[in-house]
Each structure stands twice: as structure tokens, then as C-alpha cells.
Amino acid sequence: AGAPERAGRARYVCNNRTERTFALGLAFPLFSRLMLQRFAVLLALFLLAPLAQAQGLVGSWTFDLLPPGGAGDPFETGYMTVPADGDGRLLLINNGLESPMTGVTSTQDGDTQTATGTLPGLGGAPFTLAVTVDGDAMEGTMTLAGNPPFGFRATRAVGDPFAAYEAEQDSLRLRQR
């Protein structure tokens, strides 16, 4: 009981998994067991890369500044966008101050991630943000212009917090007219 033959063409019949794998490996070297394993590892790394990035400091955040030492209630809230390197943006809502974050560089030392740069909108004040990121939350300190470090805690912003803030401000300006 072999496979039916067609006009002079022989057909190989695979009776078990080992034979099929062997036949595929011979016909298509990409389907060899080793190549499939390598492909699976690369695919897993590719799919997990966004999760690893989500753990980082880079992105848009809604934050609270706490008194030096980190104890007490927040005295300022705001939004910030932290780039890996380059320029970001900072908004202090209570004071209504907005500034680009220029010359930002980000580093990591163990669990602590640090971003440094300057805030031209605050007189060119240098800043250092040193935090531990846990998923979509971070906590640590923010130093402005060499002052004692403020407590800092933030959650990753959903969407563009600056666009929502600007729309709210535009709405308030229209009501005042």
C-alpha cells in the first residue's frame, strides 16, 4: 500500500513525525529543528522588547514633587516627557511654568535610572532626575539648580498629557472672554 504514482513522478510518503521533520529539513533548510528554535528565540525577543522599554524612564509622565526628603504632601504636580537623549518637555501645573528639557542624557546604574539636562524655561536651571522605575510608576528624587533634592513620584501618562492640558487651558481662556 504505497502512494499512488502519477505519470512517472515518485512520491515520498511520510509515515511519522521524524520522517516529516527530516523531509522538511532536507527540502527547506529553514525548517530544520535548530533554525526553528533560533527563530522562536528571536521572535520572543522581538515581542518582549516593548515590555522592556516600558520599564524605562523614557516616555511621558504625570508627576508629583514632594518636599525635600520626600515626606509630606505634594507641593507641585506636572507633566514631563523624558527622551532617551535629546530634548524633552516639562510642565509645572500649579505654577503654570513650562520649559523644554534640553541636552537630556539618560543612564542606568543598577535599579536607578538617571536623566540630566537643563530647563531653559526656568533660567537654564540644571536638573537631575534619579528614579527607580517599576512598570508604569517611578519614584526617586529630582534636583533643580543645585537645591536639595525634592521627592519625586510619577505614573506613566496615557496619551499626550500636554495636549489635554493645552485643550483645557484654551477652554478656560474662551470662558474668560
Summarised one tens digit per residue, pLDDT across range 67-82 is 988 778 899 999 999 9
- pTM confidence score: 0.63
Tens digit of each residue's pLDDT (9 = 90 or more) over 89-133: 999 988 888 999 999 999 989 889 999 999 999 899 999 999 999
Other C-beta atoms lying within 10 Å of the C-beta of residue 119: 21
Cα 171–175–177 angle (5° rounding)? 120
**Top-ranked range on mean pLDDT: pick from 43-47, 82-86, 110-114:** 110-114
Closest by alpha carbon to 130, among 109, 147, 146, 145? Answer: 109
pLDDT at 31 over 60: no
- State the pLDDT at residue 119: 94
Phi and psi of 51, rounded to 5°? -65, -40
